[in-house]
Structure 1
């Protein structure tokens, strides 16, 4: 979109969220109703991809009903929207290089007020390909066994997994484990989520693996809709801030899942199998692997 079209699309989106009908929006801008639908959906999709809209999956198709339902979250995303960072989905980078991850870790060290936690969160995202809402609900026992050893081959519990199905969760990346261990050691020093036993390195096994800046569990709530989707605004904001440090257009949380899906596909996995590993439906897998032939 050029700037004039973008300004119009933003005005249309704000009007739609305010409850104005598409017919009245079209009349106000001297365009057709289909133009209103097209422009608002395109802008909403960009907000989902580039910024992230709390409660809305990045790959979800934004209908007028969805936009109005999550209106406040779309408006919040709009405040953070940088048009220059919006690149076409079919040209969006699918692979984040080790050098780019190094750059993000360096930026976290310079700018974050929770360096160890945010470094561990970034590396956990790319090592596990879990979604932010899943990472927010991980507990110490998901990462450590009672003896305090890392569970290299863990399980994402059904109650916190997208789709409510358990799946394999790997903590077999030495760099990621070192970052998590450094954060847990910091937690222990501060007395956050500890227990008096020596098991689990002195940390309460049922405490969250990642805590807020003040050492509290991040708030998880339900969206109140028919799907009862779980939301965590804090983890969403943390990742938004982390990726904002790097200033690299197109890199966002979905890149971790795209990388994992690409690697699985290269090893011969089909869309259904990839979906089972990542907790995604076949259509969502196809959208992750944009630019390839659709599944049959």
Structure 2
């Protein structure tokens, strides 16, 4: 008697997944049997999972399962929202896809599980607003020479966006943390963890101008030496409240919604990196996230803005 081929062999023979492909139909049927026999899910739940899998397989079209990445699955979730599915239905689809990929791992069909990184609907709803690139340009151009400490303020805002650092991390930066020739700086994150963060040429130029033209003058107003990079008018370390107020001030000056905060620049930093094709793990490292699940909430934001970015910047959009 001929030995029945494994699911992996069936998919390899069938090639890319299609809606009507026998390999995918068999895989989905076996998956529902697995939910029924081993997971002991209720009949209504299994029926709902079946509908979710039909939708997922239809979306797959010619995409090979083994080559799917978390960004691809993020596009699938975005397509559900574009269809007008209720948040509860989208959340159930996410759970269905996660469970399906765990099953595929157990069966040896895939070796990696990109669905582990899929954000839940609840996490997506917590993502605050992200500035467009045009708004970023307006915001970073808001400090003018008529502002009293414009050199410091430009440098501070440039660092916030160029590095994605938290407000507290920027406030705690010391002059010895700068390695501008090597184009990076050292910051101390949550739990005292230090990391090296790359920094771009515009932020470097702004920092150098601040150091040459203003910081020494501010430092002289404090009788006690201060290593902190960004100083207040009295020569003391700039604190988070002052930083927050300055961000609000320049947002209003740039004509941008003043509900933004220093953290909005951090969110914009991550979103724009992903939109440009950055790897999720690299963004995680730059943000200083302990868990990649915190970083992957930006995969949804990035995809939701790709169309707008394309329409705004592509010459043939």
TM-score (norm 2): 0.46
Larger Rg: 2
